[in-house]
Amino acid sequence: MTELTHWINGQHVKGTSGRFQDVYNPATGEVIGQVPLASQDELNAAIADAEKAQVAWAATNPQRRARVMMKFGDLINEHMDELAELVSKEHGKTLPDGRGDVQRGLEVVEVCMGAPAMMKGEFMGDAGPGIDLYSMRQPLGVVAGITPFNFPAMIPLWKMAPALVSGNAMILKPSERCPSTSLRLAELLKEAGLPDGVLQVVNGDKEVVDGILDNETIQGVGFVGSTPIAQYIYGRAATNGKRAQCFGGAKNHMIIMPDADLDKAADALVGAGFGAAGERCMAISVAVPVGKETADRLIEKLVPRIEALKVGPYTGGNDVDYGPVITPQSKARINGLVTSGVEQGAELVIDGREFSLQGYENGFFVGPSLFDNVTEEMDIYKEEIFGPVLSTVRKDTYEEALDLIMKNQYGNGTAIYTADGDTARDFAAKVNVGMVGINFPIPVPLSYFTFGGWKKSAFGDLNQYGPDALRFYTKTKTVTARWFSGIKEGAALNFKALD
């Protein structure tokens, strides 16, 4: 069993609080490590050191900061398989999915290599008599990232790369369930040339989160997790005068129109609904077929595909479609929600509750479940299950299907499968969801765009990665400069135009 550490001032540091949390291999149920949970004193010391290191880092020119990102990207590529295995061992996702986790984070690092071009301010000469106006973007100072268990590489990279390349220092608090990947990324950043102290990885629980939110040095907080915690962090951060971007839960729908290619739609639903055991904030968990014939045919196509899914450990090779969920508590919650669906009248077409894998009986595996005839009042519709469960809500018309999504409290991602361009354009224009897929099941934008949901899926007015991230981690300073050149003017007591 490994005793994990914090990463402070460019080196591994043992925890001193005396508090630890077990880290599991979800496939076997075995405790494979213990992660220290920092005290307030440990956190505050890390923040103080980050504040000192940030001054010189901010004074480093943007191009040199971008070169650190270039080297960091090379190192991530070089260690891709190692990082993917760290992800899979603690999270449980398959190795191909683990590589995808790392790759989507790497893409944000690659965009940050071009940060100098995105951080330029504005300039206007002769805005008034002898007056120049210009703006500059400057780092906030020390910021924090609080990241979830389901993407141990991708989301820490989404937070780290834009924050650091903008000249900030960062306190990263990764999920205590999957801490090893962030610690390894910190080592690679040091190797890439990041000065000591600019990134501090502080492991912890709610005590550390509250400490981050209340510490006066921290100027901005980025969070990804559940909606209740996102609301809590956003509110407390705002009360304490911090910038915050907090991304919460989701209930992502996919409309299947009568003219859709149902084989492609069924393949998309299986991949988007059951990949990574459904533990994705962009997972499609609700299929919305339009019309009885479409719904009946869709169910017929889904059943053999779902029944053919192979559930197993990440060590099972490329034949494994998805692995275990993260904890035994998650497994119990998912199975409990499936039971509630049956009790509330939904038709359970495929039941994954009794799934057991020979040789891995202690693992946290959940078999795939498929529901039909789900209604909006049922718990399996209202709650984010975050597991391998697909619910089918039948609607008679496109308008009813669209209205279902519009009324849902979440607005992270959505999709429509159709052969009709007018319907697709209408859907994209009207739906009140932040990320939309047209014949595309998981519409996570490429890294030079930006990622963010609407409604109770996101709190804050700037999204993750892309140009929005650099705006979030910087503040604008505008300078009005006058150089006198034969201009004579007395004292001006009235507010007046510059021209």
Active-site residue list: 281
Please check whether residue 53 is in contact with residue 8, taking contact to mean a CB–CB distance below 8 angstroms: no
Find the Cα–Cα–Cα–Cα dihedral 349, 354, 360, 364, rounded to 10°.
80
User: Are 243 and 140 in contact, with CB atoms under 8 Å apart?
Assistant: yes
Radius of gyration of the chain (CA): 25
Q: What is the DSSP letter of 6?
A: E
Token pair in block for residue 255: 């409309």
Tokens 């509750």: give the residue.
Answer: 353
Query: Which residue's entry shows tokens 């209604």?
Result: 375
Q: Measured in Å, how far apart are the chain's first and last C-alpha atoms?
A: 71
Tokens 């300078």: give the residue.
Answer: 479
The tokens of 123 are what? 């300039």
In this structure, are strands 131-139 and 142-146 parallel, antiparallel, or unpaired? unpaired
CA distance 271 to 349: 18
CA distance linking residue 228 with residue 245, whole number of Å: 14
Give, as one character, the DSSP assignment of residue 441.
S
d(CA 122, CA 73): 29
Sequence-ordered list of residues with C-beta below 8 angstroms from that of 361, at least 6 positions apart, any chain = none
Ramachandran region, residue 179 (left: φ > 0; alpha: ψ -120 to 50; beta: rest): alpha
CA separation for the pair 3, 34 (Å, rounded): 5
CA distance 161 to 35: 24
Cα dihedral angle (261, 266, 272, 278), rounded to 10 degrees? 160
- Which residue pairs from 53-57 have beta carbons closer than 8 angstroms and sit at least 24 positions apart in sequence? 53/9, 53/169, 53/195, 53/196, 53/197, 53/198, 54/139, 54/141, 54/142, 54/167, 54/168, 54/169, 54/197, 54/198, 56/195, 57/164, 57/167, 57/168, 57/169, 57/195, 57/198
Question: Up-side HSE of residue 483: CA atoms within 13 Å toward CB?
Answer: 4
- Number of Cα atoms under 13 Å in the Cβ half of residue 173: 27
